[in-house]
Amino acid sequence: DTAVSQTPKYLVTQMGNDKSIKCEQNLGHDTMYWYKQDSKKFLKIMFSYNNKELIINETVPNRFSPKSPDKAHLNLHINSLELGDSAVYFCASSPGGGARQFFGPGTRLTVL
Amino acid sequence: QKEVEQNSGPLSVPEGAIASLNCTYSDRGSQSFFWYRQYSGKSPELIMFIYSNGDKEDGRFTAQLNKASQYVSLLIRDSQPSDSATYLCAVDSNYQLIWGAGTKLIIKP
């Protein structure tokens, strides 16, 4: 059974388009995260939700909007995609903030 | 801004030798420390965690924590080519994990 799943695995799109990435976890965790990992491999936190409530919102352009319909799901919608948005986006979950995190397989986004 | 520092490497170690990876952190209140391994094109996976000062061993891996020096390390004994990966150090701070930039480890046959 997959613990943290993301769809799609690959996303290739044109500049200016809007796209969404979906994440689901079946671990019963309360906290979910979105990370961005660029070509230099640095893992940067974008958002964190605890029980459907936003608790971390790092300096991220307003074009990025997370949505958590329930505590098992955290989706990421990106408007007006730019070249600099090309990266791998990881979803993760944990039992609580500061605890060990479990990562999804990642979504490789390429903006042309 | 709380920070976690790691040497980016690459760290090159002969097969069979001990690989030593180091991490320093700035938040004196941190209580939980994690080592993740990330293979190229894959997601990070947890390999060790430590909460108390001293050593914690799991197979070929040993995590060492020194809270007074704000230092955590990972030792890999009998290094194998399959250990070649990027190792990420993560430290809890204010109910989130602060991540280091990772150390790329290369095990040479």
A62 reaches B (C-beta below 8 A): no
pLDDT above 90 for A1: no
Q: Which of A20-29, A40-49, B9-18 has the lowest mean pLDDT?
A: A40-49
pLDDT at B69: 95
Residue B49: count other Cβ atoms within 10 Å of its Cβ: 16
CB atoms A105 and B49 under 8 Å? no
pLDDT average, residue stretch B41-62: 96
pLDDT at B18: 98
The rounded percent of chain B whose pLDDT value lies above 70 is 100
pLDDT at A28: 94
pLDDT above 80 for A2: no
pLDDT at B83: 98
Length reported for chain A: 112
Closest CA to B107 of B8, B9, B16, B6: B16
Q: Name the A residues in 9-48 with CB < 8 Å from any B CB.
A: 40-45, 48
CA of A105 vs chain B CAs: smallest distance (Å) = 5
Amino acid present at A95: P
pLDDT average, residue stretch B89-101: 92
CB atoms B99 and A105 under 8 Å? no
pLDDT above 90 for B59: yes
Which residues neighbour B41 within 8 Å (Cβ) at sequence distance 6 or greater? none
A100 reaches B (C-beta below 8 A): yes
Average pLDDT of chain A is 93
pLDDT at B95: 82
pLDDT above 90 for B1: no
Cα(B68)–Cα(A98) distance, integer angstroms: 20
- pLDDT tens, A30-60? 999 999 998 878 899 999 998 888 887 788 8
CA of B25 vs chain A CAs: smallest distance (Å) = 14
Which residues neighbour A84 within 8 Å (Cβ) at sequence distance 6 or greater? A111
pLDDT at B53: 93
B80 reaches A (C-beta below 8 A): no
CA of A98 vs chain B CAs: smallest distance (Å) = 4
pLDDT above 80 for B7: yes
Q: Which of B27, B31, B50, B95 to mutate to test the interface with A (most CBs of A within 10 A)?
A: B95
pLDDT above 80 for B63: yes
- pLDDT tens, A58-105? 888 999 999 999 999 999 999 999 999 999 999 999 998 888 999 999
pLDDT at A40: 79
A56 reaches B (C-beta below 8 A): yes
pLDDT at B28: 93
CA of A79 vs chain B CAs: smallest distance (Å) = 25
